[in-house]
Structure 1
Amino acid sequence: MSALGSLTRRLGHQKWFAATLRLLVPADRLVGRLTKGRVVAFGLVPSLVLTTTGRRSGKPRSNPLLYVPDGDAYVVIGSNWGQQHQPAWSLNLLAQPAAEVDVRGRRVPVRAEPINGPERERLFARLVDEWPAYRTYVERAGGREIRVFRVFRLVPAGEAVA
């Protein structure tokens, strides 16, 4: 891991840092779109661009997200930087589980599976290993990680497109 990646992981626990990164999400979306998913989260953590269908608008909605691999699938968490409300993309996946990810320059259709129980705990631990600030986000959101932070496994649903 690079020194900048290590610094980013340490700063991730700070409320001001999360607020600043939230403001940078539109720029991150643009960089992800321009690089076709090759550079997301400014290359600091393993990331993908998730495109969901807006549950109200029906329009495509793209969000850069940290992920951990789980076999052929991608695991993401709706932490919303430690806020107490769900991120819109997580609600979109509950309404319409068919989505698409851009990861390392490949576009992959996926189907979202909400994860619960012991499997959720296992995957949450893997996410925390990658981004330790998730534990801080749980505290910031009132310690109710089960209700607040949904974990999804994004399972490839078809052939990837380069």
Structure 2
Amino acid sequence: MLLVLVFGVLHKPEAAVTSFVLLAIPSILAGAYTGFEAIDRRVIDAGRSMGMTEWQILWRIEVPLGLPLLIGGLRSATLQVVATVTIAAYVNLGGVGYYIIQGLPLRDFTQILGGAIVVLALALVLDGVFAIVQHLVVPRGVAVGRVSELRETPSRRRAAVAAVTK
């Protein structure tokens, strides 16, 4: 908790929250960037050809199609923060990590294991909740994981070329 030294001893909660927010930002940004970059440009071009404005394209095409990967970034960030927040007890901020930190010098391995199991259970519950949310935000009609069907096979390519040359 280097930020405790920077912020001062009297501002430990602010230092901890700042460090956890800084920890979560890269995963959230990676999820958002990946979500928007994964959208097929042909879908955006189809929206433009239908006369949609840029704001309509953003809110009706890009956000619904990119939201599952953004939720995936939030899911990853949540797991990182839950796993790391236990060290906030190192600067006397309490929480579940307190039992782990307190059990180390006492060599009370059952207390350490109990704290670790609670952190594990919290992480699994939050991961399950975000997995359900991520599944629910996939728009209807979007085929998840069926990219191979969308690719053009050689027989389809030959048929398309034959139809054009006739």
Structure with greater contact order relative to length (CA < 8 Å, sep ≥ 6)? 1
Q: TM-score, normalised by structure 1?
A: 0.23
**Where is the helix percentage greater, Structure 1 or Structure 2?**
2
Larger Rg: 2
